[in-house]
Copies of this chain bind each other. A is one copy, B any other.
Amino acid sequence: MSDRREFRDLANPEKAHEAIASLDLAPEPETVPLDEARGRVLAERIDAELDVPGFDRASMDGYAVRARDTFGADEMDPATLDLVGAVHAGAEPDVTVEPGTCAEISTGAVLPDGADAVVMVERTTEVTGEDESGADADVVSVEIRTSVAPGDHVMFAGADIAAGGRALGPGTEITPREIGLLSALGLDEVPVRGRPTVGIVSTGDELVRPGEELHSERGQIYDVNSYTIAAGVEEAGGEAVLYPHAGDDYDEMERLLVEASEECDLVLSSGSTSASAVDVIYRVIEDRGDLLLHGVAVKPGKPMLIGRVGDSAYVGLPGYPVSALTIFRTFVARAVREAAGKPEPRTATVTGRMARQERYSEGRMRLMPAGLVHDAAGDTLVYPVDKGSGATTSLVEADGVVVVDPDTEYLAAGEDVEVQLFSPDVRAPTLFVVGEDDPALSRLLDRVDRPRHLAVGSREGLRRLRDGVPDAAVVAGEPGRDPVAAPDPTADDEPVPTEVVGEWTREWGLIVPAGNPDDVTGLADLVDRDLRFVNRDSNSGLRITLANALADLAADRGTTRREATEAVDGFDRAVRAHESPARRVLAGDADAGLGLRATAERLDTGFVPLGTEPVRVHANPARVDKAGVRQLREAVADGDDVFESLAGYDH
């Protein structure tokens, strides 16, 4: 452990950008079929090789004429021209229009020799001849009831695109309209910029690929970075290649990095959270390549490495998923896009106002994960998301990153900041709701477009709602009655102004093993008997409801609430989510857990009912008309099917 690599001389982030820019990732241009060209970038200028159209083309159904023959013609005094034939689209004309004649012509057909204009059919009348018996027979001539000028209703050869003309420039992004122009030129293959190939080597003995079996007892976790960074590479216009995981073994790491460098334009390593794997990579790069830069004055991301392995560029990303994606987004994606010739999408950044003040002073550039929410006026508010960069959920609880300058000591509430979104396709949620974790809520949110729900518990939910960031907080029980909660030093004396936009009730109690083997009958058993209990965390409304019930029990007995809770083995053994205590009971780690009847039914456990508590959706009164809040209100109002499907729920 004394060999831990220290990054003492941290590089300026600008130097990191320069170092990455100095690595040449751009692959050779290639040729792709037209139907695969969308989203690619032209490698060279396309000049027209042919005239479009390739012939003088009728742009109306009507008659091909010599314009001079129609001069002076009008409704009252039409010109009559002999009909000498017809020309259809896709056919070679077999007539010539001599003075005094005309030919029927379809839109798109070749203008026959002699003709120089088309009269549209609406301005003509067919004149039939007589057959031998004197009856009407074939059309022999046409009355032209308008004058036309040479060129009328004709698109001349080359009028759309002329041979030799510039059609599209190098660097043009190919969207459907460019496909159209390339089609018109007859091209079925297109020279495009190559897509840089990016190899991804995840490191860490503890990583398991999604889909494989996970051994948590050995400390295994699923590999998040490989697929995430691969998706980021593809989004930036590169082609991702995943390599097998490397552990901390030098030879294995060397073999993988060298193999990747031979096959790719850029090699990224990521995934290990331990210093020893970073050390191994460091040595491999020094031995088999060239280390341009190690350590950048940025948080997160300090241990970033930039260099070369063999002929390939190399960047070492940090291991925590949010850090890895953030560093990729900030430093690497641009280089991939530039190598692919693609501009940064316009939607890659948004500007918003800081929802509240955020302090920071570490003397390093900070990449602050941030979430977005729209206020009542539809303006974008930005708030920091700080769950610790080890949390994968930060990936979806934040929308992007605010780059905070090392000299910035704080961002003021209301200050404009730019958020670099994790993806150009990321958008602010339509509803931002925080608070209690509740199975009915989860189903109701399925009926809201793009909601964001943070299960931070009822008490923390109310606190955040008061701070003005979320649209709504879901609160279970009566957290105001909580007899033990420490007073919140940041709380106003004023009650939180909220508007309840939905409400239901749920039955709570003790989750016990199936068949209730310990014959638990109520709260008194937890206090009086030697039962291992699992509680929820202190922000949970359900835990507050339990604490209130214990206080009532203590009052009945003439003891204190503290005596009651201290007598419960595990009152402070808190787990995070509504099913977590039940799962501990199922795993045999506890004899009873705090939970809902609905959870007991879902997981087939025993259940000892203790009461019913309300669950209320409190909205920010200024935002009750926001589309997402209205959708949630309607989902609750129309949610009978949800409440009926969950045992112990009522609405």
* A57 close to chain B: CB less than 8 A: yes
Is A90 within 8 A of B204, CB to CB? yes
* A393 close to chain B: CB less than 8 A: yes
Q: Which of A40-54 contact B (CB under 8 A)?
A: 45, 47, 50-54
Q: How many residues of A contact B (CB 8 A)?
A: 140
| Stretch touching chain B among A214-222, A464-472, A619-627 | A214-222
Is A205 within 8 A of B453, CB to CB? no
Q: How far is the CA of A182 from the CA of B321 in the complex (A)?
A: 12
Tell which of B38, B39, B580 touches A158, judged by Cβ atoms closer than 8 Å: B580
Is A108 within 8 A of B206, CB to CB? yes
Q: Which of A20-77 contact B (CB under 8 A)?
A: 34-35, 38-39, 45, 47, 50-55, 57, 59, 61
Q: How far is the CA of A47 from the CA of B274 in the complex (A)?
A: 29
- The oligomer's copy count stands at 2
Nearest chain B CB to A2 CB, angstrom units = 8
| Stretch touching chain B among A166-174, A402-410, A512-520, A610-618 | A166-174
Given contacts A159-B576, A163-B583, contact A89 B168 (CB under 8 A): no
Q: How far is the CA of A169 from the CA of B422 in the complex (A)?
A: 19
Q: How far is the CA of A39 from the CA of B232 in the complex (A)?
A: 11
Inter-chain contacts of A168 with B (CB < 8 A): 396
Which secondary structure characterizes the binding site on chain A? loop
Given contacts A230-B35, A347-B345, contact A155 B390 (CB under 8 A): yes
* A131 close to chain B: CB less than 8 A: no
Q: Which of A178-236 contact B (CB under 8 A)?
A: 178-189, 204-212, 214-232, 234-235
Residue of B at shortest CB range from A422?
Answer: B177
Residue of B at shortest CB range from A448?
Answer: B169
Q: How far is the CA of A185 from the CA of B393 in the complex (A)?
A: 11
Inter-chain contacts of A427 with B (CB < 8 A): 343, 346
Residue of B at shortest CB range from A205?
Answer: B90
Is A205 within 8 A of B89, CB to CB? yes
* A599 close to chain B: CB less than 8 A: yes
Is B576 within 8 A of A180, CB to CB? no
* A565 close to chain B: CB less than 8 A: no
Inter-chain contacts of A274 with B (CB < 8 A): 61, 88-89, 106-108
Residue of B at shortest CB range from A216?
Answer: B54
Q: How far is the CA of A387 from the CA of B451 in the complex (A)?
A: 45
> Hey, what's the 0/1 contact readout for A404-437 against B, CB within 8 Å counting as 1?
0000000000000000001101110000000001
Given contacts A176-B422, A346-B427, contact A388 B165 (CB under 8 A): no
Q: Which of A89-131 contact B (CB under 8 A)?
A: 89-92, 104, 106-110, 121, 126
Is B325 within 8 A of A176, CB to CB? yes
Q: Which of A564-590 contact B (CB under 8 A)?
A: 575-580, 583
A-B contact list, 26 entries, CB within 8 Å? A51-B580, A52-B222, A54-B221, A91-B218, A92-B217, A107-B274, A108-B204, A108-B219, A110-B218, A158-B580, A159-B576, A163-B579, A163-B580, A164-B580, A166-B453, A169-B450, A180-B224, A180-B395, A181-B393, A182-B210, A183-B210, A184-B221, A186-B211, A188-B209, A188-B210, A345-B425
For the complex with contacts A172-B450, A180-B224, 7 further pairs of A-B residues with Cβ separation under 8 Å are: A53-B221, A54-B220, A57-B219, A90-B220, A91-B218, A186-B214, A188-B211
What residues make up the interface of A, taking CB atoms closer than 8 Å to B?
A: 1-2, 4, 34-35, 38-39, 45, 47, 50-55, 57, 59, 61, 87-92, 104, 106-110, 121, 126, 155-166, 168-173, 175-189, 204-212, 214-232, 234-235, 242, 247, 272-276, 321, 325, 343, 345-347, 387-388, 390-393, 395-396, 422-423, 425-427, 437, 442-443, 445-446, 448-451, 453, 455, 575-580, 583, 599
Q: Nearest 6 pairs between A and B by C-beta?
A: A188-B211, A54-B216, A162-B577, A164-B579, A90-B206, A90-B205
